[in-house]
Amino acid sequence: MTTTTDVVISGFGGQGVIMTGLVLGKTISIFSDGFATMTQNFGPEARGGACTAQVVVDSEPIRYPYVQQPKILIAMSQEAYEKHELNLAKGGTLLYEEELVEPNSKRDGIKAYGIPAARFAEELGNNMVLNMIMLGFLSGTTGLFEPEAAKKAITASVPGHFIDLNHRAFDKGYEYGKGVLARERETEVSEAKK
């Protein structure tokens, strides 16, 4: 059976949106047993303009590489959220940078999880790793891919002196995502007992 997951990663130039898409694609197609395609779209500005990477992930070869209705939306800016949230599939997952994005929609069937990725990146000493924190958060909350595969893709994608920092950023996002799910489960259990 084919399992297709369409992912939209969006933010503004300078946040590493395209790199996130590239690493996700490598994670699935090179370091896992899947297939992936990526298309990208960005404004003419080098930094600060709208930027989007669309990644199609599948267990079978991909016949159509464009995302119609994403199952997962990663929003790293308010503009990105507002542009793409309405296209998110019912039952989809919204992952957002909680200090830069304020979700204003409560659509039924959408799971929404926020992370203070920019603050975590600052704590790690480099704002440029916000994207790897978001990638780790994606793995931790959705289980779309194994962390070990992502770390191999990161190693193959970033300059050698930044590998350790990017691995730590990924781990920070992954652990935070796992914690979010654990707290969600605890809440569900507690509500069921009432």
pLDDT of residue 111: 93
Is the separation of the CB atoms in 97 and 176 below 8 Å? Answer: no
pLDDT for 48 equals: 63
pLDDT of residue 173: 98
State which CATH number among 3.30.1050.10, 3.65.10.10, 3.40.50.150, 3.40.920.10 fits the domain covering 4-193. Answer: 3.40.920.10
Q: How far apart are CA 59 and CA 2, in angstroms?
A: 6
Q: How far apart are CA 71 and CA 55, in angstroms?
A: 11
Other beta carbons within 10 Å of 1: 4
pLDDT in tens, 13-26: 889 999 999 999 99
User: Hey, is 78 helix, strand or coil?
Assistant: helix
Is residue 59 within 8 Å of residue 2, measured between CB atoms?
A: yes
Look at the block and give the residue holding tokens 């914690």: 179
CA distance 169 to 93: 21
Q: Are strands 35-42 and 50-58 parallel, antiparallel or unpaired?
A: antiparallel
Q: Are strands 111-115 and 93-97 parallel, antiparallel or unpaired?
A: parallel
| Nearest alpha carbon to residue 86 among 99, 73, 102 | 73
Task: Give me the pLDDT at residue 43, please.
Answer: 63
* Residue 1 pLDDT: 32
Q: pLDDT below 50 — which residues of the chain?
A: 1
User: What six digits make up the tokens of 179?
Assistant: 């914690």
Q: What is the pairing mode between strands 72-75 and 4-12?
A: parallel
- Residue 160: the pLDDT is 94
Q: What is the pTM for the complete model shown?
A: 0.92
